Structure 1
Amino acid sequence: MQTTVFYSLLIASVFATEKDAGLPRLIDAKAAEAFVDSAELVVIGFLEGEDHSGYQELVAAAKRVDSVSVAICTVKEVWADYGLTSDTISLFRKADNHREDLVLAKVKKLEADGLVNFITTNELRYITEYNQVTAVGLFNSEVKSHLLLFVNGGTKEYAELKARLGALAPEFTGKFLFVLINGGVKSNSRSLGYFGLKSQDLPRVGVYDGDADMKWLLPKGELSTERVRDFCKSFLQGDLKEVKQAGAEAKTEL
Structure 2
Amino acid sequence: MLWTLVFSLLLTCASANDIVLPLLNNTKAVEAFAESAEVVLVGFLEGEASLGYKELLAAAKTVGSVPAALCSVKEVWADYSVSTDTITLFRKADNHQENLVVANAEKLDTDGLVNFITVNEVRYITEYDQVTAVGLFNSGVKTHLVLFANRSSEDYNELKEKLGALAPEFMGKFLFVLINGALKSNSRSLGYFGLKSEDLPRVGIYDGNSDMKWLLPEGDITVERVRDFCQSFQRGELKETKQAGETKAKTEL
What TM-score, normalized by structure 1, do the two folds share?
0.87
SS in 2 for 1:25: coil
Q: 2:220 aligns with which of 199, 219, 222?
A: 222
How far apart are the structure 2 equivalents of 1:98 and 1:108? Answer: 23
**Alignment RMSD, CA only?**
1.6
Change (3 A) 1:19 1:226: closer
Structure 1 equivalent of residue 249 of structure 2: 253
How far apart are the structure 2 equivalents of 1:212 and 1:171? Answer: 23
Change (3 A) 1:20 1:134: closer
C-alpha contact (below 8 Å) 2:217/2:248 kept by paired residues: no
1:88 maps to 2:107: no
Structure 2 equivalent of residue 114 of structure 1: 112
1:23 maps to 2:21: yes
* Unaligned stretches of 5+ residues in structure 1: 1-17, 246-250
How far apart are the structure 2 equivalents of 1:100 and 1:83? Answer: 11
How far apart are the structure 2 equivalents of 1:182 and 1:94? Answer: 23
C-alpha contact (below 8 Å) 1:216/1:244 kept by paired residues: no
Q: 2:102 aligns with which of 94, 101, 104?
A: 104
Structure 2 equivalent of residue 76 of structure 1: 74
Structure 2 equivalent of residue 15 of structure 1: none
Structure 2 equivalent of residue 172 of structure 1: 170
Structure 2 equivalent of residue 49 of structure 1: 47
1:132 maps to 2:135: no
SS in 2 for 1:143: coil
Per-residue deviation, residues 99-151 of structure 1 (Å, max 9, x unmatched): 01111111132111111111111110000000011000110111111000000
Name the aligned partner's letter for residue 172 of structure 1: F
Structure 2 equivalent of residue 181 of structure 1: 179
Structure-to-structure mapping, 1:207-246, within 5 angstroms: 207-244=205-242
Report sequence identity in percent.
68
C-alpha contact (below 8 Å) 2:19/2:57 kept by paired residues: no
SS in 1 for 2:238: coil
Tell me which protein shows more helix as a share of its residues: 2
Q: 1:162 aligns with which of 148, 160, 163?
A: 160
- Bigger Rg, which one: 2
How far apart are the structure 2 equivalents of 1:166 and 1:242? Answer: 28
Structure 1 equivalent of residue 139 of structure 2: 141
1:59 maps to 2:32: no
C-alpha contact (below 8 Å) 2:41/2:90 kept by paired residues: yes
The Cα of 1:252 is off from its aligned counterpart by 4.1
How far apart are the structure 1 equivalents of 2:240 and 2:81? Answer: 43
SS in 1 for 2:237: coil
SS in 2 for 1:49: coil
Structure 2 equivalent of residue 38 of structure 1: 36
Per-residue deviation, residues 32-70 of structure 1 (Å, max 9, x unmatched): 111001011001000011012111111111111111111
